[in-house]
Amino acid sequence: MVDVSDKALTVREAVAEALVRMRPETQQMITHGEHPKGDVFAVARIAGIQAAKKTSDLIPLCHPLMLTSVKLELTPEGADAVRITARCKLTGQTGVEMEALTAASVAALTIYDMCKAVDRGMVIESVRLLEKLGGKSGAFKAENKAEDEA
Catalytic residues: 113
* Beta strands, E only, the chain: 10-21, 69-77, 81-92, 123-133, 140-141
> Distance (Å, rounded) from C-alpha 106 to C-alpha 91?
24
Contact 100, 84 (CB under 8 A): no
What distances in angstroms separate CA 8 from CA 32, 148, 150, one per listed residue? 47, 34, 39
Task: Report the alpha-carbon distance of residue 49 to residue 51 in Å, rounded.
Answer: 5
Instruction: Give the SS3 label for residue 1.
Output: coil
d(CA 26, CA 35): 9
